[in-house]
Copies of this chain bind each other. A is one copy, B any other.
């Protein structure tokens, strides 16, 4: 039976201070630009941007203003995600002005909360009689979950209980409405989120019933008779979003079979990874072998069959969804920013259950590529969809690619992704380390310090990293007194067999100390002990499993955690006309002037000439190739130099006899 072997917990945000040449700029951008910009957007004060209506709805629901509800049925969640981001930011960088802004919003939420504890501006303003009549479509518990996450974060950041008390009243009310008992609704939400939020609420309050309610939602999902179908019949076979009379597609909601029987990732990818996150959370607290197995199988299915090399997931924009094994088209991809963030959530939970570096490898892959790639340097433009191949003309003129944007657009009416990036970046410190009673795990190489206790002994670990352009990491240990404990250091997948680990200058035998991708160093650590890790700087040429049809004959370039891409602006030709040579002699060089500085990779390739083709579309003659220098830039920087073609997977000239 599967059990948890070496559980650990994240080192909390307030115990981690990040100070990193690469990442601090993103954390700062989120704090100084993204959070203030989103605050203005939520107030409908950004000229030329579609109004969010989020604050306006709240003011109406609070009785402070008159008017109509505006925006999507789930509009409240944008505000909640912003508040959560603001809370994390305050936790690591106190800001009285920002705290006042959040407090003002909390006051309005309190005013808008119904006497029974219910809170949702859509159903309060627009359809009060329809509360809990369409869980499938209407995101009521989803919005509740995001408010709970914001409340927990704000309480942890400030110690203020008002919002926490609001969400506890709301959670108590939900607990009175949903559950297995007769007279309660035997249901669950169309968009998973409350499940993971209730675990957080349980953690901070210690109230077991929140954990049980989360477990109930997970256990009830996908059982027969099916709640969504019964609900659909009760509504007269209608749906909120369309006039179709078709029943809901249960796999879109991961409710096609009971959750613990699921082995393949299906349906809307954000919903999926939010659910898997909650499953792992619950498994961590219940050591439930069935849930653990489902989590591991779903993880494996995603990572080994359905994940883009950029850490993106979701192969189709129809339903923003997974499709099936090895179906990873690069140019009709969805790869929503929120889905990669959810995958990072899931990875962090899996790391807490099983310290296996694959989880951290994926977390890092999603973070360095899709997540930061989704955000423009100005903090005001975001990709929701993160393609691996773009032809701007096709985005405009082929309707099957209209969802693929060649440059980062501004804030959307459905602004799920930008506040999700904000809350992840402002809580980034939580993702670097986990600890157990005697072990500190280092999952990410991001500079800063972590403060933990082993027994009664406070320990500080100071990390320096020059990733991703360099490859050197060092850590200095500063325990208040000498004591024996373990530091477990991740050896990234991209550096396997090429890492050198030293303690106080002495090289360790990695074969002897590495298990599941972590080097376990147990000793009595003294103040000033140092640990250094030299990782690989090799440029890797990646190939895909032969069943991944979309990448046949193509390679991707990776160096460290950074995946590269080609843009046509650097080649004066469609990237599809370029081949990487079979011995490309790839060289990395830092270009300080490229979009704030980045390492560029150059090498040898071939270019198909188009001059002599004239009017021919097809012909029976060989193509003319001439040697060219190919130039690859980090994927996360694509689309920042105007519209142009981009590809992660590029053709290679195979080495054949």
Residues of A at the B interface (CB closer than 8 Å) are 243, 300, 303-305, 307, 309, 315-319, 323-324, 327, 329, 332, 391, 393-394, 397-400, 540-549, 552-553, 556, 558, 573-574, 576-577, 579, 581-582, 606, 608-610, 613, 615-623, 625, 651, 653-656
Contacts and interface: CB of A to CB of B under 8 A. Distances in A.
A329 B323 CA distance: 19
Given A324-B397, A398-B324, A391 B549 contact: yes
Contact of A654 (B324, B546, B548, B625): B625
30 contacts: A300-B615, A304-B616, A304-B617, A305-B617, A307-B617, A315-B398, A316-B400, A323-B394, A323-B397, A323-B398, A324-B394, A327-B397, A400-B400, A542-B620, A543-B620, A543-B621, A544-B618, A545-B610, A545-B613, A545-B618, A546-B573, A546-B574, A546-B577, A546-B610, A547-B574, A552-B651, A553-B651, A556-B618, A606-B654, A623-B654
Number of copies: 2
A654 B655 contact: no
Given A400-B316, A615-B304, A547 B655 contact: no
Given A327-B394, A547-B610, A552-B576, A542 B625 contact: no
Which residue, A317, A318, A546, A619, has most C-beta atoms of chain B within 10 A? Answer: A546
A577 B654 CA distance: 13
Given A553-B553, A553-B651, A617-B307, A582 B656 contact: yes
Contacts of A609: 546
A545 B243 contact: no
Contacts of A608: 546, 552
A609 B548 CA distance: 13
Given A318-B400, A543-B623, 10 more contacts: A304-B616, A315-B398, A323-B399, A324-B398, A543-B619, A553-B553, A556-B618, A558-B620, A606-B656, A625-B656
Contact of A617 (B540, B544, B606): B544
Contacts of A305: 617
A204 to B, nearest CB: 37
7 residue pairs, one from A and one from B, having the closest CB atoms: A318-B399, A552-B576, A546-B610, A540-B620, A549-B576, A324-B397, A546-B608
Contacts of A579: 553, 654
Which residue, A300, A305, A317, A654, has most C-beta atoms of chain B within 10 A? Answer: A654
